[in-house]
């Protein structure tokens, strides 16, 4: 059966038709995801997530002949999203309790703990961007990529977070 017909059937809720479409290109999907994810486990996770999204969103596909490019775009975006989340987890977990002195080699553990407590007063987005900027010394472009926002949004989150810290804890507002 041709792909266009299978897509039409899948759009009407035929799970078997969708499965046939996916199985016809399973090796190509796997190789594509593996290129991004670099390991079998994460590759399979990305493919599973893609299948769920395809099932949920297939009715939005305008042209049946675009199924494979559409589904591969979804897979690539999922892989990128998963990689960003992994980077966030690694970066943010690298200093959850303020005990990593290599990040602040010249301040005491009490001061590191104070910094973490201060950051606790910020919303998650502000805390994350400030940690990435000042604890991990990343540039705005990298922060924007990691957090999946524009550079302007990343800068704004840092600015607003620092402003809130100044209001709460005092400090020079002329930076």
Question: Quick one: pLDDT at residue 86?
Answer: 80
Same domain, 85 and 103: no
Same domain, 87 and 150: no
Same domain, 81 and 11: yes
pLDDT averages per 10-residue partition of the chain, 175 residues: 92 94 92 81 94 94 88 85 74 43 49 72 87 74 79 94 87 53
Look at residues 41, 56, 91 and tell me which one is the last residue of a structural domain: 91
Same domain, 78 and 154: no
What range defines the domain where residue 24 resides?
A: 3-91
Q: What is the CATH number of the domain that holds 66?
A: 1.10.1740.10
Q: Which residues contact 59 (CB under 8 A, 6 or more apart)?
A: 11
Same domain, 53 and 126: no
Q: Which long-range contacts (CB under 8 A, 24 or more apart) does 29-32 make?
A: 29/71, 29/72, 29/75, 32/72, 32/75, 32/76
Q: What is the CATH number of the domain that holds 128?
A: 1.10.10.10
Same domain, 135 and 112: yes
Helix, strand, or coil (residue 170):
coil
3-state DSSP helix/strand/coil % of the chain, to nearest 5: 75, 0, 25
Same domain, 7 and 81: yes
Same domain, 76 and 20: yes
User: Is residue 65 assigned to a domain?
Assistant: yes
User: Is residue 174 assigned to a domain?
Assistant: no
Same domain, 38 and 111: no
User: Is residue 175 assigned to a domain?
Assistant: no
Same domain, 13 and 67: yes
Q: Work out how many domains the chain is built from and give that number.
A: 2
User: Is residue 156 assigned to a domain?
Assistant: yes
Distance CA 47, CA 68 (A): 14
Distance CA 70, CA 56 (A): 14
Same domain, 37 and 69: yes
Same domain, 87 and 7: yes
Whether the model clears a pTM of 0.85, i.e. scores above it, the answer is: no
Distance CA 77, CA 69 (A): 12
User: Is residue 139 assigned to a domain?
Assistant: yes
């Amino acid at each position: 059966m041709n792909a266009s017909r299978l897509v039409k059937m899948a759009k009407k809720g035929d799970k078997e038709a969708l499965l046939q479409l996916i199985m016809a290109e399973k090796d190509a999907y796997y190789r594509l995801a593996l290129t991004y994810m670099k390991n079998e486990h994460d590759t399979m996770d990305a493919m599973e997530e893609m299948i769920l999204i395809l099932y949920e969103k297939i009715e939005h596909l305008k042209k049946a002949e675009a199924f494979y490019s559409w589904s591969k775009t979804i897979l690539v975006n999922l892989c990128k999203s998963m990689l960003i989340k992994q980077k966030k987890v690694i970066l943010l977990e690298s200093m959850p309790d303020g005990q990593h002195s290599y990040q602040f080699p010249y301040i005491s553990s009490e001061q590191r703990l104070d910094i973490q407590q201060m950051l606790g007063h910020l919303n998650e987005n502000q805390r994350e961007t400030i940690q990435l900027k000042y604890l991990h010394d990343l540039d705005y472009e990298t922060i924007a990529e990691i957090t999946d926002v524009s550079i302007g949004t990343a800068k704004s989150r840092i600015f607003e977070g620092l402003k809130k810290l100044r209001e709460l804890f005092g400090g020079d507002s002329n930076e």
